Structure 1
């Protein structure tokens, strides 16, 4: 065959590939151009839209809200798409959303979110339950090795090669009217979310990982995720690591009180008492309002209005028997030199396991969890769901001495025989 003859088939193949690429891009663009978009502001419009999406296989969902001046997020806008239809729904102007709720809580329709915890909190707070079944594209991206806690815009660009406009990320969504640019920004959050869902689901199925995320999705759907016990609020206080013993009992009591006051008044927790003030009150445990005045950041008005209640809470907590004092289980115990070395070994094994599964180590677990594993803890995120399958079991086997890292011919492998 001549040199020229050998080039022609290659050129044709490249031309065909280019045509396929152009057709795919054209199809994608045409879908975006022909998608029916709506801004829904009345109950009649909502009912008509719901009738059109009632039999959807999946719905991409996003919310816009504000919570700078409230404890509970103020629901301002819902975006929804099924791939053919997309809409922004205004809950501020529509009083009755019952026609929509029937669809949102239909268990035959998959509800798709990106980093959906705050969106789902809104549904739970308003209607007492979370819509299921769920799919979260951020969690799926992590499992597919596309990044840890990757943002929506970055994921759209990475997977769909489309750059989203970012100019309205700080919009006050409670103000009306919303302009066209704001609505365009909001709609894009679900139009491309649907495309992400389809592609990420395909990749998960291709890698036979479509069921690995079920534990994570179940946790997202768990009501306790959105309705935690006020007695557990102390675990999220900055500065608690400096406290111990009865100080933690005082912190628990004061923080539970703040949580309940914030909920009842629907005001931000920091408006009631800041974290650092709670920590200082727990540390110094004042007995009088005069002593309270020495706490930095504790406003005179708060002392005047709430001082007696705070002093009573402190006194009651100090009187608790030692057996009722809370324990900060997340406080890392000091490891021995041998335990530090074992943690290093586990981290090396984690990197190997992550590479084998094309996932970053941080998506599986943290060094802090590895330290806890070495210390004997087993109720860890690492030991649940897909993380246990990919790495947790193997790391425990290394700890138990039934699996050994072996270095051979420039490669590391984990060997049950150590040879």
Structure 2
């Protein structure tokens, strides 16, 4: 495989992308920094096919990434291979409002091959190729220039190994007949809706003990305020206002802007500056959450009563049994929210009641709920018994 020098100009990038566009698949990875910004700062892109590999410098002054982005999001003839590609897809979405497609994520494929739910890249490479990766450059500052040869070699290695791994995984999936199992999962992670960050939902990520509609209404308003301010200033959310400070303000709202000087976690300047005024405006415009918006008091099982939670626990036990028998990661078969929905009585629109998931788990899950299936222990092992 030919390894190119670091690409820093548009003409070289364009020629590379024209060649890669003739390949059936390309492996893609990114290096980025997000410690000091709201938006992740793209610092390096690595890409390879079976013939050549390159690292691309998006911080170079004479480069336009359009040819690369066109290859990733517009070219439907080239499969894009990633490993645990959520953050890579987020970066591409931030730049284009679209995501790479079609997509193959080797971490998800590993779940179908019984290799675990979140197998790391180094472990995957070692298990499939016997190569032990050098992790020394993992925590480098990718935004600093110039990048040295060790950094670039380390980064390109992520895609050159991926190019070797992907065909082997594909062959195993074909032999086991599980390739089709991954189609809907790959489409799900490629959905651009996954990477749209709605400010009005930001409050749901903040831990708060109160379940009062007025408190949570204020939290919703000021969390959305923080999200928009952080975007505008391109600062990390927590650098602007920490979660615990937002929760404290929502629970004990200041009566006036001057009272912001007394809020722990806010600079005293907020008592008189424009951002403090905007915070007060968000508080004044807050309305209590509606009943539909209020979270369940049972955080562990949203929307489930005590009996429903017990049913969900039994379904998860069944999932462990069936996933072990099928040698596939449980999370690929069923997500927690779907199990909870099934336990709560929902039947329509659930993936676990469709296709291969129904055959592996959903059919028995329904039988368990309906009293046609029971657990028992024989010889120290758990088994399932049909009840006539």
TM range (shorter): 0.7 to 0.9
* Contact 1:77–1:91 under 8 Å retained in 2: yes
Q: How many residues align?
A: 382
Rg larger for = 1
SS in 2 for 1:95: coil
In the alignment, which of 50, 56, 74 is matched to residue 89 of structure 1? 56
Gaps of 5+ in 1: 1-33
* Contact 2:261–2:269 under 8 Å retained in 1: no
1:53 and 1:333 mapped to 2: Cα distance? 47
Alignment of 1:14-413 (within 5 A): 34-93=1-60, 94-104=62-72, 105-237=74-206, 239-289=207-257, 291-305=259-273, 306-318=275-287, 320=288, 323=290, 326-328=293-295, 331-332=299-300, 338-339=307-308, 341-361=310-330, 364-365=333-334, 370=339, 373-376=342-345, 387=357, 390-405=360-375, 412-413=382-383
SS in 2 for 1:342: helix
The residue that corresponds to 1:26 in the other structure is: none
2:281 and 2:89 mapped to 1: Cα distance? 37
The residue that corresponds to 1:6 in the other structure is: none
Gaps of 5+ in 2: none
RMSD: 2.9
Calculate the TM-score normalised by the size of structure 1: 0.82
User: Taking structure 1 as reference, are residues 241 and 211 closer, same or farther at Cα in structure 2, changes over 3 Å only?
Assistant: farther
2:36 and 2:175 mapped to 1: Cα distance? 46
* Contact 1:346–1:395 under 8 Å retained in 2: yes
* Contact 2:227–2:237 under 8 Å retained in 1: yes
* Contact 1:254–1:313 under 8 Å retained in 2: yes
* Contact 2:221–2:283 under 8 Å retained in 1: yes
2:257 and 2:351 mapped to 1: Cα distance? 44
- 352-361 or 186-195, which deviates more: 352-361
* Contact 1:59–1:110 under 8 Å retained in 2: yes
* Contact 1:39–1:89 under 8 Å retained in 2: yes
Compute the displacement of 1:39 (Å): 2.3
1:386 and 1:258 mapped to 2: Cα distance? 43
Q: Kindly indicate which of the two structures has a greater share of residues assigned to helix.
A: 1
